[in-house]
Chains A and B, each alone.
Chain A
Amino acid sequence: MVALEPHTQTRRLAPRGRTTEHLKTGLTHVSLVALAGLLCAVFLCYPIIDTFWLSVHNVNEFGQTQGFSGFANFATIFRDPAFRGSVLRSAVWTVVVVGVTTVLGLFVAVLLNQPWRGRAIVRGLLLLPWVASLVVTTLLWQWIADPDFGALDHLARTLGLIHTNIAWLGNGNYALPLMMWIAIWVSVPPTALILLAGLQGLDRDVYEAASLDGTRGSRLFLDVTLPLLRPVLTVTVLLNVIFVFNSFPIIWILTEGGPLGSTNTLPTYMYNLAFELNEMGAAAAVAVVMFFILLAFSTLYTRLAWRNVAR
C-alpha cells in the first residue's frame, strides 16, 4: 500500500511515473470517501452553519434573512420565561431519564447475561419497545393513559391506588413524569442490549482469576465487572444523553408542550417557535443554544471519562 504522506523533498526527486502513481492512489482514496463527505457537507454541515447564520439575523417566515441583528434573537429568548422553564425541564428530563435508564438497563443486561430457561425469548421480546417507532409507542401510551378507557387507570383502580380516574396527560403535575417514564421505557431495552453485548465481550479468565482470589457476588460485580464495562457504559451514557436531550416525538405527540407550556422542553419549545409562531430567527437561536449545551456536555464528559480510564 502506498502511504500518501506528502514530502516535498522526495516528491521532487521521485521519477515522473511515481508521481502520477501517487496522484492516482490519492484520487482513488478521495473517490472512496467523496459521496459520504459530500452528503455530510450539504445536509449536516451546511444546515448547522446556516442555523448559526440565521440566529444572528432577522428572518422572515420563509427563512429569508433580512439584515443582521446581532444577538437580538438570543436576547429575545433569554427574556422569555417559557425558554428558561424549558431549559430547566430539559435538564431534569435528561438527567432523570438517562440516570434511571442506565441503572435499569445495566440490571437487565446482567440478568440476561446469566443462563436461564426462556432467556432468548425475553431478549427477543425486549426488542419490541425499541423497534416500534416512537410515534407508535407514544400513541400506545396515550391510549393506556386514556382517562375513560385506559389501562393505566384500570390498573391503578384494580390495585386500589386510586378511586377516581386521573386524566394523566391533562394534568400539569402528571404529564411530564408520565412522559419521562415513556422515554425510560423506550430507552431501557436498547441500553440493556448494548450493555449485554459488552458483558458478553468481557474476558472470562478475569472472572476465573477473581473467583480464585475468593471474590464473590456483588463484590465481583462492583470490583471486576463494572470497571471492565466502563468504556461501553461511557459511550452508552453519552449516546443516551444526546438522544434523550433531543427527544421530540413523545412530548409533541402527547401534549405539544402543554398544558400551558408545562411540558415544554427545548426541542418542543423550538419547534413551536419555528413552525407555529414563525419566529425562525429566535428558533435558530434556540437550536444554537441546544448545540452548545450538548457540545459542552460531550467535551466535559469525554474528558472526565478518559481521565478516569487513564488513571
Chain B
Amino acid sequence: MNREAELSLDRIVRGSSLGRLIARICFSVLVLVLLGPFFVMLSTAIASNRAVVAIPPTWLPDQIAFSNFREAFTVIPLSRYFLNSGIIAGGATALNAIAAVPAAFALARLRFRGRRAFLIFIIATQMISPVVLLIASFKLMLVLHLLNTYWALILMDGTISLPITIWIMTAYFSLIPQEVQDAATLDGVRAWRMLKDHFVPLGVPGIVTALIFSFVIAWNEFVFALTFITNPTMRPLTTGIYAFMGQSQIQWNYLMAASLLAIIPVFVIFLIVQKQLASGLSAGAVK
C-alpha cells in the first residue's frame, strides 16, 4: 500500500478530532506519570548531600554534584556487585544458549516421541514462580553445598528463564522456510550439523532476543539472591543495594546514582533490540 493511502486510512482509524484530542491529553498525562519517577531519580542522583535533604524539597537540586557517581562506588561496594551480577547473568545466559537453542530447534523442526508432552511441559512451567520454588530449591542448594556460590544463582536463574527462551526460539525456528530443512536433509545432514550450519545463522534475531531475556531475568532476579546468598561479597546488585540501604542512614543521592548506573547497561541493550524483542514476544504469544 502506498504512503498516501496508508495515511488516509490512519485518519479513518483514528476517529473524530475531539475524541482524538481527549485521547492525546490523557496519553500525555499517563506518559508523564510513567516517566516522572525517573526524572526524580535523575535529579536526586545529581543532588549534593545538602540539596538532597532540602526542606521544602525542590524539583531540581540547587547544588549539583556529579561526583555522586564516583562517590557511590566508594560508599557502596558497587564494582563488586556489578562483577557478581555480570558473572551470574552471563552464566545464566550461557546456560540458556547451550540448553535452549537445541531444544527449541528439536521442538520446532523435528518429530519425535514425547515432543507434544515436552511442549505442554514447557508451557506449564511458565506458571511456576520463583516464590513457589523457593523453599525446596533452598533445601536443594543446601544439600548440593551451593549456597553462597555463583552456581546456585546461575543454575536457578538459568533454569527459570528456560521455558520462556525455548518458547521464543521455537516460534522463530518455526518461521524458517521448510526448504532449508528439506535441502539439508537431502544432503544427508544430521540434526546437530543442520542446527549449527543452517538454523543458528538464520535464527540469530530470535536467539538473541531470547538470550537477552534470560540475561535481564538473571540481572534483575531478587528472591533467589536474597535467599541463597548471605555472604556480603557474593551479593549481586539487586540484593547488594537492598542490603546496603538496610544499614544506617540511607544516602539517597548515592543510591539513586548507583541505581541509574545499574539501569543504563540493560536500557541500552533493550533500546538496540526493542523491535525484535516485542515481535519475538508476540510471536511467542500467538503460537
Asked if A pairs with B, the answer is yes
| Alpha-carbon distance A243/B223, docked complex (angstroms) | 13
| Alpha-carbon distance A290/B278, docked complex (angstroms) | 30
Fill in one digit per residue for A182-209: 1 if any B CB lies within 8 Å of its CB, else 0: 0001001100011011101100100110
Q: Which of B12, B99, B282 contacts A39 (CB 8 A)?
A: B99
Cβ A220 vs Cβ B103 within 8 A? no
| Alpha-carbon distance A6/B111, docked complex (angstroms) | 12
Cβ B278 vs Cβ A196 within 8 A? yes
Q: Which of A163-197 contact B (CB under 8 A)?
A: 185, 188-189, 193-194, 196-197
Q: Which of B10, B34, B54, B166 contacts A188 (CB 8 A)?
A: B34
Q: Tell me whether A89 is interfacial, beta carbon within 8 Å.
A: no
Query: Least Cβ distance of B260 to chain A in Å?
Result: 9
Which chain B residue lies CB-closest to A26? B112
Q: Which of B16, B262, B270 contacts A133 (CB 8 A)?
A: B262
| Alpha-carbon distance A235/B281, docked complex (angstroms) | 10
Range of interface residues on chain A? Answer: 35 or more
Residues of A within 8 A of B13 (CB): 114, 207, 211, 217, 220
Residues of B within 8 A of A253 (CB): 242
Cβ A1 vs Cβ B185 within 8 A? yes
| Alpha-carbon distance A232/B95, docked complex (angstroms) | 29
Which of the segments B37-45, B63-71, B200-208 contacts the partner chain?
A: B37-45
Residues of B within 8 A of A25 (CB): 191
Q: Tell me whether A50 is interfacial, beta carbon within 8 Å.
A: yes
Residues of A within 8 A of B10 (CB): 114-115
Which chain B residue lies CB-closest to A193? B278
Cβ B191 vs Cβ A44 within 8 A? no
Which chain A residue lies CB-closest to B225? A135
Query: Least Cβ distance of A57 to chain B in Å?
Result: 12
Cβ B34 vs Cβ A129 within 8 A? yes
Fill in one digit per residue for B7-24: 1 if any A CB lies within 8 Å of its CB, else 0: 101101111100100011
Q: Tell me whether A71 is interfacial, beta carbon within 8 Å.
A: no
Q: Tell me whether B177 is interfacial, beta carbon within 8 Å.
A: no
Query: Least Cβ distance of A172 to chain B in Å?
Result: 22
Cβ B259 vs Cβ A132 within 8 A? yes
Q: Which of A37, A115, A136, A189 contacts B241 (CB 8 A)?
A: A136
Q: Tell me whether A304 is interfacial, beta carbon within 8 Å.
A: no
Q: Tell me whether B102 is interfacial, beta carbon within 8 Å.
A: yes
Residues of B within 8 A of A275 (CB): 227
Cβ A194 vs Cβ B132 within 8 A? no
Q: Tell me whether A144 is interfacial, beta carbon within 8 Å.
A: yes
Most B Cβ at <10 Å: residue of A43, A107, A129: A43
Q: Tell me whether A97 is interfacial, beta carbon within 8 Å.
A: no
Which chain A residue lies CB-closest to B35? A125
Cβ B9 vs Cβ A218 within 8 A? no
Fill in one digit per residue for B128-169: 1 if any A CB lies within 8 Å of its CB, else 0: 111111111111101000000000000110111011001000
Cβ B185 vs Cβ A46 within 8 A? no
Which chain B residue lies CB-closest to A212? B12
Cβ A33 vs Cβ B137 within 8 A? no
Q: Tell me whether A160 is interfacial, beta carbon within 8 Å.
A: no
Q: Tell me whether A40 is interfacial, beta carbon within 8 Å.
A: yes
Query: Least Cβ distance of A61 to chain B in Å?
Result: 11
Query: Least Cβ distance of B78 to chain A in Å?
Result: 13
Cβ B31 vs Cβ A218 within 8 A? no
Query: Least Cβ distance of A8 to chain B in Å?
Result: 14
What would 22 A/B residue contacts be, using CB atoms closer than 8 Å?
A6-B113, A29-B106, A33-B103, A33-B107, A36-B102, A36-B162, A37-B103, A43-B156, A43-B160, A48-B133, A124-B274, A131-B266, A137-B37, A140-B37, A141-B37, A143-B40, A143-B44, A193-B274, A194-B282, A200-B279, A220-B12, A248-B130
Residues of A within 8 A of B (CB): 1, 3-6, 25-26, 28-33, 35-37, 39-40, 42-44, 46-48, 50-51, 54, 62-63, 104, 107-108, 111, 114-115, 122-137, 139-141, 143-144, 146, 148-151, 154, 157, 185, 188-189, 193-194, 196-198, 200-201, 204, 207-208, 211, 216-218, 220-221, 231-232, 235-236, 239, 242-243, 245-246, 248-249, 252-253, 267, 270-271, 274-275, 280, 283-284, 287, 290-291, 294-295, 298
**What 6 pairs across the A-B complex have the smallest Cβ distances?**
A217-B15, A133-B220, A63-B139, A47-B136, A246-B129, A36-B103
List 4 other contacts, CB 8 Å, given A204-B1, A217-B16.
A44-B159, A51-B133, A198-B286, A207-B12
